[in-house]
Amino acid sequence: MTRLSSNHLLGLKELTSEDINLIFETADNFKSILNRQIKKVPSLRDITIANVFFENSTRTKISFELAEKRLSADVVNFSSSSSSVSKGETLIDTVNNILSMKVDMVVMRHPAPGAALFLSKHVDAQIINAGDGTHEHPTQALLDAYSIREELGNIQGKKVVIVGDILHSRVALSNIYCLQKMGAEVAVCGPPTLIPKHIDALGVRVMHNLNEALAWCDVANMLRIQMERQQTKYFPSLREYSMQYGLTMDHLNTLDKEVTIMHPGPINRGVEVSSEVADSDQSIILNQVENGVAIRMAVLYLLAAQKES
């Protein structure tokens, strides 16, 4: 296995476990480079990458941009708020205009599920999905799984619970695909209104009680309540949600084991996790962010390498 099975990174659904392992092994090399004094290699020096963000982002955008720069790629950034999209240009036109300026790869975040797949069928560039609506966020799932592998040694046989707003979360769906392909058992936990119907068809357990979920799992991935995507009320109040599903030190102290705590960010402290939990030794939230750069370097490197082969 020396190449990825796809020329784009659209979602974890399309990747094989061999692909994921190849990305992890390549990321190991980049991680050691990121710990050096000179954190830059010249691999992608003749490649230009456009970061096209139709939705807000801090971590993902900075992480991709750093990954690109550390591979010596040329980078252009684009965000919809300051662009001609507000003048009525279509997605394909926008991207084709960018590509005609000789851009090789597009990293795109878009509010519409399937936007990355759509783009990959209609433009001549490699597409990396940096989040498409409520669908997938592949690099986040890869860095989450990579962080679990780093923390616990392997992913095979581990029990991971994803807690919170599963309904609106692209991180949840990508994580489910990724972790299952790597041999983990996955459960989701949250109020019934925030768990998609028929999610058990994906082979995940459904739980509604946080204590039960914590007793079962090795890793808890706490998701943010995505207020910006919620048009109706899914629970009476944020305070009530926090009382039912907010993770506190009291929860962790009653367990006879150490559960690894993850969060894809941004954190709403005091809602899904308390400050003490977020800053505790069991939390690997900042390791996730650190690993994000190495994972994204690996994805960019492997995709760029197979473009012309």
Question: Please, which residue, 30 or 245, has the CB nearer to other proteins?
Answer: 30
Note whether 288 and 262 are within 8 A (CB).
Answer: yes
Query: What is the rounded CA–CA span in Å between residue 165 and residue 168?
Result: 6
**Tokens 């851009």 found at:** 103
Q: At what angle do helices 17-34 and 138-152 cross, to 10 degrees?
A: 70
**Cα 31 from Cα 292, distance rounded (Å):** 10
Q: Residue 49 Cβ, how far from other proteins at the closest point, in Å?
A: 14
Closest distance between other proteins and the C-beta of residue 101, in Å? 20
Least spacing, CB of residue 298 vs other proteins, in Å: 10
Q: Which is nearer to other proteins, 38 or 201 (CB)?
A: 38
Which residues would be at the binding site for other proteins (CB under 8 A)?
2-3, 22, 25-26, 28-29, 32-33, 36-38, 40-44, 46-47, 71, 301-302, 304-309
By C-beta, is 223 or 302 nearer to other proteins? 302
Name 188's bridge partners: 162, 206
DSSP 8-class letter at 129 = E
Is the Cβ of residue 45 or residue 229 nearer to other proteins in the bound state? 45
Nearest-angstrom CA–CA distance, 146 and 271: 26
CB of 252 to other proteins, least distance (A): 36
Minimal distance in Å, beta carbon 43 to other proteins?
Answer: 5
| Among 217, 133, 144, 210, CA closest to 176 | 144
Strand order from edge to edge, sheet including 185-189: 205-207, 185-189, 159-163, 219-222, 260-262
Closest contact distance (angstroms) between CB of 44 and other proteins is 8
Our CB check for other proteins shows the closer of 207 and 293 to be 293
26 versus 147: smaller Cβ distance to other proteins: 26
Backbone angles phi, psi at 25, to 5 degrees: -65, -40
Cβ atoms of 43 and 71 closer than 8 Å: yes
